[in-house]
Copies of this chain bind each other. A is one copy, B any other.
Amino acid sequence: MNIAIAQSGGPTAAINSSLCGVFDEAEKYNEIDRIYGSLNGIEGILNDNLIDLKEVLITENDKQLLKRTPSTVLGSCRFKLKNSSDDDSDYKRITQTFAKYDIKAFFYIGGNDSMDTVMKLDAYFRENHIDIKVVGVPKTIDNDLPLTDHTPGFGSAAKYVATTLQEIIRDSRVYSIPSVTIVEIMGRDAGWLTASSCVLRANGEPAPHLIYLPESDFSQERYLEDVKRISERYKAVIVAVSEGIDCLASRSEATDAFGHKYLSGVGKYLEELTRDHMGCKVRSIELNVMQRCGSHIASLTDLDEAWRIGAAAVNEALKYGGSGIMMGFRRISNNPYRVGIVPLDVRECANKAKYFPKEWITPEGNNVTIDALNYFLPLIQGEPKIDYRNGIPVHFRLDQ
């Protein structure tokens, strides 16, 4: 028998590590012959576009290198399966490909949308008495998958954000004039990654002084009051803001003091708003895709866990016959940090989101609590050893 792995959704620094975890564990099973990689997520299964992973991951070094390489080595997709009751043609093509390659288990590494595919495929196979296990391996820098304590990819993104933010803080403090620096962090609906910027406090760093998440109500008036109050104490005010905060509703009509429309993006918007009202030096910085693919400053805890949860998915399917599940983390303790890996019903995970807890947001809605800090800290610990060639980190590359 053979198995297949695919990757889906937006890139992270840890999604290839999960692939390695699945691959490495599957290699230990004598009954598994070939381990296929499906190119561009489920599209590779639909279009019969598979590669034999044993032909590309040959040495232990290949696996270790891929573990530390960001993004999805097999490519990704944004593909939503129709309901099989409406149109089962894609299901039939998938079943054909699986039959053609004798694939008996399929591991899908992805986020909320990908778990929808896991759920639907598993239901279809069960209904039609087809014995193919379908197991989801979670990933997303947004950390918004339900039931699991956290999600692979998040810890590395959080470590990138903290490291970069600390450097921006140093940079912001050079001149004697007052300033406000607004750092826009990914997270359209969930504020986990923005909230994680609080980890700098563990080292005595008071910045970011203000943290705004989509989970709390945003008011421009309170924001401006907050910035003014902080600027009385700190020369260089640092604001961490989630791209998804609700200040955009009124944006299309909003104009600055000169009657110009505000530019797009929360960071730019707040930059102009702040400049109009504060009159000091203001800049906004977008951490952009670097925060999701910054593998050179990945969290080793994250990469190791991503590998382990991939391996656990194989055992769940092969040893215990699990299917229609998403693997998840259960936190046992914070100090020492210990987590277990558990199978979760994918129907409870797919198409659902886990938001940052309201009780971890301060009453003023402009910062997070010590509980949040304690939650985040273990996830950013440790650094992978990076191989450099010509002064540049070496990446695993499948093609040009």
- Say yes or no for A296: interface residue by CB 8 A criterion: yes
Q: Which residue of B has the minimal Cβ distance to A43?
A: B176
Q: With contacts A206-B400, A382-B391, A392-B202 known, is A70 near B170, CB below 8 A?
A: yes
Contacts of A325 in B (CB 8 A): none
Copies of this chain, how many?
2
| A315 interface hit (Cβ, 8 Å) | no
* Size bracket, chain A contacts: 35 or more
Contact A171 B11 (CB under 8 A): yes
Q: Which residues of B contact A393 (CB under 8 A)?
A: 163, 166
Q: Given the complex of chains A and B, what is the CA–CA distance between A389 and B389 in angstroms? A: 27
A71 in the interface, Cβ–Cβ < 8 Å? Answer: yes
Give 8 pairs: A residue, B residue, CB < 8 Å, sorted on A: A10-B174, A71-B173, A76-B174, A167-B290, A167-B294, A168-B293, A285-B289, A285-B290
Q: Considering the chains assembled together, what is the distance between the CA atoms of A299 and B388 in angstroms?
A: 12
Q: How far is the CB of A233 from chain B (nearest CB, A)?
A: 10
Contacts of A20 in B (CB 8 A): none
| 1/0 contact string of A389-400 vs chain B (CB within 8 Å) | 111111100001
**In the complex, A288 has a CB within 8 A of chain B:** yes
When A and B form their complex, which 9 residue pairs have the shortest distance between CB atoms, in order from nearest? A71-B170, A380-B391, A76-B174, A202-B390, A171-B293, A167-B293, A381-B391, A171-B289, A40-B176
Q: How many whole Å from A352's CB to the nearest CB in chain B?
A: 24
Least Cβ distance of A240 to chain B in Å?
15
Chain B nearest CB: distance from A150 CB in Å?
14
Roughly how many angstroms separate A382 CA and B69 CA in the complex, as a whole number? 20
